[in-house]
Structure 1
Amino acid sequence: MTTSSNNFPLEIKDLDPEEADEIHKHFFKGYQNGFLRVGPKGYFFTNGIKVDIKNTYNMPIRPDDTFVVTFPKSGTTWTQELVWMVANNLDYEKSDSIPLHERFLFLDMFMVINSDITKNYMKDFVKGDERLLKIIEKVTTPGTENAAKLPSPRFIKTHMPFSLLPPKLLDTAKVVYVARDPRDAVVSYYHHHKLFHFMGYTGDFKQYWEYFIQNKIDFTPYFPHVIEAWEQRNHPNLLFLFYEDMLKDLPKAVRQVAEFLGKTMTDEQVSRLCDRLKFDNFKKNPMLNFEVGGRDLGWITKKDRTFIRKGKSGDWREHFDEQMTAQAQRWIADNLRGTDLRFPTITDSDLASYNK
């Protein structure tokens, strides 16, 4: 049952029609239901969010809930599997038999895809397949309704910033937040928008980058999203991780998650889990990939692209030209100025050179 409440203190404002029309030119018709911004930071979404955003803000949180919160394409799926495995005492049998999206609810899925055009497109695409039609029914049901039906303990993934999540979330449940170098996040997000049929971004990367830094892509602006979490990093119920640190020393990250969740792991158990989470093994795991074998959600992705792509740091250098690189440097410096947030890939000396 969805929590119905008007207790939502932030303004929801429709995007100017002219600005919306300009964005529509580069996206599949499934995104034609309009855009909006939320709150003083102006978080950008499609209009589908209107249906469930207030319910999300007011959803009841259980003490044994575990959330993974990230800006999109920041190592979310990787972290979900790590967290679920540790929390569930390394239950490989269950993990090997149940897809991750069934073990870990994606709270925002309904808000991301909610439009009649998108629903009808998906239903036409899988016409006659009862199994997939049931999945469509689930992902087009408000996330708060799906969450309320889940037995405890619940595992929930969201890309919502903390300011749009229940105010007592951190005082009640455990939250793992992962941040990634924004230049790599935007590259991965671009490929993500190219991957899904119902998103269908048709522009090039340069145009996408402009949309990203102008806060015209779902869940942007990027830096306020990360800073909201960074400012609460010392809360005992929040574990703040950097994707790049996880790549550099995965065993350390596994131990951090284990300690955070109150679990004890032997060196052998850590080693085995790290082997499972190695990129090449992770990418081939059909329980974690939408596209592998067409399992469950694979039917909504393009066959020439993959959901889990490269899993590395620094891939942005292959996509940014000289002008975009300089633009990114200025953008990063402007947004980190006055904060103590520092990414493993962005040093104080880097920022000093950006500000010259």
Structure 2
Amino acid sequence: MRQSSRTVHSEYSKVRISERLEPGNMPNATFYAESVPFEQIEKLAISGGYSSIYATSKPSVDVVGNWQNRYCSLADTFQPVLDRVYNFDVREDDVWIVTSTKCGTTWAQEMTWLILNDFDFEKAKSEDLTLRSPFLEFNGVVPNVPHDTIEAANNLPSPRLIKSHLPAWLLPKQVWTKKPKIIYIFRNPKDAAISYFHHWRGMVGYKGTKQDFMHSYIDGYVNFNPFWPHVLDFWQLRNQPEIFFTSYERMKRDLAGVIKDVCKFLGREVKDEQLSQLVAHLSFDKMKDNPACNHVKEFESMKAAAGREVDEFSRFVRRGIVGSHKDEMPQSVIQEFDDWTEDNLKDYQLTIEDFTNYSKY
């Protein structure tokens, strides 16, 4: 089994996030940052700094492992927005879509928005999903984005549908007191990593090798990782009434069943005709060809920030195949992922199938 290249964090200086902000802003930071070694930044083709983010005090939600050792890898562009996100004003009737990256987030957003908005298919086709359901911390992905995504989420009428890739302990603190509904989507990390590789090539401009990216993913260096702690936090919360845990694989296998479960979870009714329409609307071919679901505005923001064209990544919805890693990932890397998964799950006596087959109802 390949050894992780992650170095002990204490070798790197801890920089309080508030010290990196403008004077007078957020003087009492909730998080601090440890710089990631340059060779890892270079390997990921990141311009600027990259850090592991830690909490300064015990999170308001229980997390797996020792909270003081828990970190989230993020480009330094995220640091000015983390306290803003943490202090975001949550509403009790919010619905949140939370996932690790490339786990069917867009698919779940579109499904849930339509359920919450009386199956308004015309609006779903005409208005960009990023406006209907903001990606809360997107200001951290692109700091000079034309519109402030946190402010956009603040201004949405209720019930709001909000997307985040942050781990449980980095989400707004009011999430755990006001208890809005949270839909968490799991995906086999081998497929998620392959999808993320293509995402980084198209949207970040990654020019490195696929194998280097896979190793960075396993080592937890890419944005919003490490993967398994992110998943396990929500897995241990799955029986809470405000948490709905499902998987990309289950959505592919029984989309109608997942839709009916989400309707039950949200207290919404779905008629047979609406169910059929929604299943058709959410089909891969329809999603792939729907500009409103392909994050056009996010592309425009990232292209403007990078000062370049996006060459190969014209569609956010790419393949949508369960098991896509099998024809894109060398067998040696597949084995590394399997060993890494086993190492992370053995103490919990869990397997991939426990997540992909789980049903709340």
Aligned-partner residue type, residue 150 of structure 1: L
Residue in 2 that maps onto 1:42: 71
Q: Tell me how far apart the structure 1 counterparts of residues 103 and 216 of structure 2 sit (CA, whole Å).
A: 18
Aligned-partner residue type, residue 93 of structure 2: D
Q: Tell me how far apart the structure 1 counterparts of residues 188 and 330 of structure 2 sit (CA, whole Å).
A: 17
Q: Tell me how far apart the structure 2 counterparts of residues 338 and 6 of structure 1 sit (CA, whole Å).
A: 39
Residue in 1 that maps onto 2:156: 150
Residue in 1 that maps onto 2:11: none
The one of 294, 301, 318 equivalent to 1:309 is 318
In the superposition, relative to structure 1, how do residues 255 and 315 fare at CA in structure 2: closer, same or farther (>3 Å)? Answer: same
Aligned-partner residue type, residue 179 of structure 2: T
Unaligned runs of 5+ in 2: 1-24, 55-68, 304-308
In the superposition, relative to structure 1, how do residues 345 and 233 fare at CA in structure 2: closer, same or farther (>3 Å)? Answer: closer
Q: Tell me how far apart the structure 1 counterparts of residues 27 and 183 of structure 2 sit (CA, whole Å).
A: 28
Q: CA deviation at 1:315?
A: 0.6
Residue in 1 that maps onto 2:128: 99
Residue in 1 that maps onto 2:94: 65
- Aligned partners of 1:181 and 1:345 also within 8 Å: no
Q: Tell me how far apart the structure 2 counterparts of residues 106 and 286 of structure 1 sit (CA, whole Å).
A: 17
Residue in 2 that maps onto 1:241: 246
Residue in 2 that maps onto 1:172: 179
- Aligned partners of 1:106 and 1:156 also within 8 Å: yes
Pick which of 219-228 and 321-330 moved more: 321-330
Question: When the two structures are aligned, how many residues end up with a matched partner?
Answer: 310
In the superposition, relative to structure 1, how do residues 111 and 307 fare at CA in structure 2: closer, same or farther (>3 Å)? Answer: same
Aligned-partner residue type, residue 149 of structure 1: N
Q: Tell me how far apart the structure 1 counterparts of residues 244 and 269 of structure 2 sit (CA, whole Å).
A: 17
Tell me the SS of whatever aligns to 1:67.
strand
Residue in 1 that maps onto 2:108: 79
In the superposition, relative to structure 1, how do residues 298 and 137 fare at CA in structure 2: closer, same or farther (>3 Å)? Answer: closer
Q: Tell me how far apart the structure 2 counterparts of residues 164 and 297 of structure 1 sit (CA, whole Å).
A: 22
Q: Tell me how far apart the structure 2 counterparts of residues 250 and 47 of structure 1 sit (CA, whole Å).
A: 37
Match status 1:193 vs 2:200: yes
Q: Tell me how far apart the structure 2 counterparts of residues 22 and 168 of structure 1 sit (CA, whole Å).
A: 34
Aligned-partner residue type, residue 226 of structure 1: V
TM-score (norm 1): 0.82
Q: CA deviation at 1:267?
A: 2.0
Q: Tell me how far apart the structure 2 counterparts of residues 347 and 225 of structure 1 sit (CA, whole Å).
A: 15
Q: Tell me how far apart the structure 2 counterparts of residues 257 and 288 of structure 1 sit (CA, whole Å).
A: 20
Residue in 1 that maps onto 2:33: 13
Match status 1:215 vs 2:235: no
Write out the 4+ residue segments of structure 1 that deviate beyond 6 Å after TM superposition: 345-348
Tell me the SS of whatever aligns to 1:212.
helix
Aligned-partner residue type, residue 166 of structure 2: M
In the superposition, relative to structure 1, how do residues 85 and 157 fare at CA in structure 2: closer, same or farther (>3 Å)? Answer: same
Q: Tell me how far apart the structure 1 counterparts of residues 354 and 207 of structure 2 sit (CA, whole Å).
A: 30
Show the 5 A alignment for 1:309-348.
309-344=318-353
Q: Tell me how far apart the structure 1 counterparts of residues 356 and 230 of structure 2 sit (CA, whole Å).
A: 20
Match status 1:33 vs 2:48: yes
In the superposition, relative to structure 1, how do residues 164 and 347 fare at CA in structure 2: closer, same or farther (>3 Å)? Answer: closer
Tell me the SS of whatever aligns to 1:327.
helix
In the superposition, relative to structure 1, how do residues 205 and 229 fare at CA in structure 2: closer, same or farther (>3 Å)? Answer: same
Q: CA-to-partner distance for each residue in 1:204-261, whole Å, 9 max, x for gaps?
A: 1101001111111001100000011111111111110111011000000100111111
- Aligned partners of 2:86 and 2:170 also within 8 Å: yes
Q: CA deviation at 1:23?
A: 2.1
TM-score (norm 2): 0.81
Tell me the SS of whatever aligns to 2:101.
coil
Tell me the SS of whatever aligns to 2:293.
coil
Q: CA-to-partner distance for each residue in 1:68-94, whole Å, 9 max, x for gaps?
A: 000010000000000000011101121
In the superposition, relative to structure 1, how do residues 309 and 287 fare at CA in structure 2: closer, same or farther (>3 Å)? Answer: same
The share of aligned pairs that are identical, in percent, is: 32
Q: Tell me how far apart the structure 1 counterparts of residues 354 and 179 of structure 2 sit (CA, whole Å).
A: 32
